[in-house]
Amino acid sequence: MSTLSKTLQLRTSPHILSGYAVDSIMFNVVLALLPATLFGMYVFGLAGTLTIVVATLSCVLSEHLICVSQKRRSTIGDWSAAVTGLLYGLTLPPSLPLWMVAFGGFVCIGLGKAIFGGLGSNPFNPALVGRAILQAAFPVPMTTWMPAFAENRFSWLPPSTLAWPFTEPVYDGFTSATPLSLQKFDQVATDAGQLALGMVSGSTGETSAILLLLGGVYLVARNMMNWRIPVSIFVVVFAFSGLLHLADAGAYPSPLFMLVSGGLVLGAVFMATDMVSAPMTGTGCLLYGALIGAIVVVIRVWGGMPEGVAYAILLGNAVAPHIDRYVRPTVYGTGRRRGAAT
């Protein structure tokens, strides 16, 4: 035929694709996090904003520099480093010294992701690796919180934020306790409604359960998040702590309080669901969520720390490959229903 002006391409089927792409999934996670991020910036003012910005930039920059040093094409365009950075920033106390934020960002990408081979190869959620190392290295700054809605938060920075690297940050007169530590160490309960709205102190982005859930619903609606993981976590946390509360209401907090306090919603919706470090099958995801939920309650109730979501998820990540090994769907034509005439 004379009209053909091009060489025919030879490719194997399928010749059409669904349109899902790694970069668009990652970008949508960023979009889903925006409401909670903006709220965190509003609640914690300049300090919260700087924490998130420095966290995100340090992760993206680390990813870029590591790629360049390995003479590979930079992979920051796939948005995964931005997701890690943003999540990492949201888990940090807003008054954390910025040099620690930047250091942790480098740890997230370097130790959490790049040394395993980059995107897709990391066994743990990189954001939580960074956070866990900060928690171990700098326990005091990582558990010192500035109050929410401080009067002058848009014009004033806590002195700790701009502390020089390797100096002990100063915390004088502005600290506040989180609802979980109030509950654990002082037996003071906080109203669950206040918690759900996020009117309390805590990490930069963990405070508003409602906005975080909103982001989660968006991702589930776009089929970019496995809903089984957060649902399973919530159910187990609620049931487990509910049983404890029934047994002794004085010693154990109410299940509702457990659900909406601390980093549970942020962790369950955005961290445990990180595709790379979670199981792949539906049943596997339910088990994984149940395990994380149980560990959260154990750490919170009996552990030495008021909060345990990050460690619970890291433990879940460690188990995920084993869940995938043992929980496999029955291949068509090999199961019990094989050949059964009904």
Distance CA 232, CA 88 (A): 23
CB-wise, 12 or 152, nearer to another protein?
Answer: 12
CB-wise, 247 or 331, nearer to another protein?
Answer: 331
Query: Residue 283 CB, nearest distance to another protein (Å)?
Result: 11
CB-wise, 118 or 230, nearer to another protein?
Answer: 118
CB-wise, 236 or 278, nearer to another protein?
Answer: 278
Q: Which of 46, 29, 277 is CA-nearest to residue 160?
A: 46
- 7, burial (CB in 10 Å: exposed 0-12, middle 13-18, buried 19+): exposed
Query: Residue 340 CB, nearest distance to another protein (Å)?
Result: 6
Half-sphere exposure of 215 (CA within 13 A, CB side): 28
User: Residues interacting with another protein, by CB under 8 A?
Assistant: 1, 3-25, 78, 117-121, 226, 275-282, 324, 328-335, 337-342
Distance CA 91, CA 110 (A): 18
What count of other Cβ atoms lies within 10 Å of the Cβ of residue 158? 27
Query: Residue 179 CB, nearest distance to another protein (Å)?
Result: 34
CB-wise, 147 or 324, nearer to another protein?
Answer: 324
Which residue in this structure is represented by tokens 């970008």? 27
Distance CA 128, CA 113 (A): 11
CB–CB of 51/101 below 8 Å?
yes
Query: Residue 61 CB, nearest distance to another protein (Å)?
Result: 21
Query: Residue 125 CB, nearest distance to another protein (Å)?
Result: 12
